[in-house]
Amino acid sequence: MTNTNSDDGLIPKRRRGKKAKERYFTEETEEAIVQYLGSTSEEFRNKIFKEKIYYPFYKLSENLIHTFKFYYTEVDDIEDLKHEVITFLLEKLHYFQAGKGKAFSYFSIVGKNYLILYNNSIYKKKKISGELEEVDEDPEILNSIEHQETLNNNLEFLDLYILWMDYHLPNIFPKKDEEKIADAILEIFKRRDNIEIFNKKALYIFIKEITDAPTPNITKVVKIMRNYYIKLFNEFENEGYLKF
């Protein structure tokens, strides 16, 4: 089992430029993951994990925790929570299939699902074991309750939907022109906070400009994506997370 203790110097010590910080999970990371999975040498796996996979996993865990505010935890420190996520990602690493989707999307979904389930589990244990007054007054629990209520919010689900679709896009749309349209739609979803006018006509025009695709093709892709949205939202409502 690969050791993820930061005291062992697994975080690279060399200084990273601005570009490296912005793109911590690169094609080189994905290649390293493929090499890790293709090797049976424990020594080689430990080396490549330490040098090329650990830091991207660390940053991914950090970003998931802070972006979605998973601050309710049993561990002493957020750093400990990051390493729990890294350990879980390592345990699930062998499920990744090269060529099936982007490694970043896959591990983002795996990491976020873990944090959702972890957060829910901690909240339930605290609620059952704690005194009623403690539950009512603990600000961390109150924040956790607010988080539970947001799990069923469409915007919360949309983040997971984007990641899930991004990963499965090549299988859902084997035709390159349709995949290009779907990718453009997902890109709009990703930038939704920066879009001032978010209506059907404007979106179709924007997608046509990006893909140069005829309207019937766009409509077909939109319908397929809508069907997946409904299916996945029902799964999310029932299970609390999305399955791979």
Query: 208-223, pLDDT tens digit by residue?
Result: 877 888 888 988 998 9
Q: Are residues 213 and 109 in the same domain?
A: no
Q: What is the pLDDT of residue 66?
A: 86
Between 29 and 157, the more confident residue is: 29
Instruction: Report if residue 244 sits inside a domain.
Output: no
* pTM for this model (two decimals): 0.51
Would you place residue 23 in the very low, low, confident or very high pLDDT band (cuts 50, 70, 90)? Answer: confident
Residue type, 157: F
pLDDT at 200: 63
Do 17 and 29 fall into the same domain? yes
Q: Which residue has the higher pLDDT, 151 or 129?
A: 129
Decide: residue 185, CB within 10 A, 0-12 exposed, 13-18 middle, 19+ buried: buried
Helices (H), 23-102: 27-38, 42-48, 54-67, 78-91
Percent of the chain whose predicted confidence (pLDDT) is above 70? 72
Query: Is 1 within a domain?
Result: no
Q: Give Cα 83 distance to the centre of its chain.
A: 16
Domain of residue 208 covers 154-239
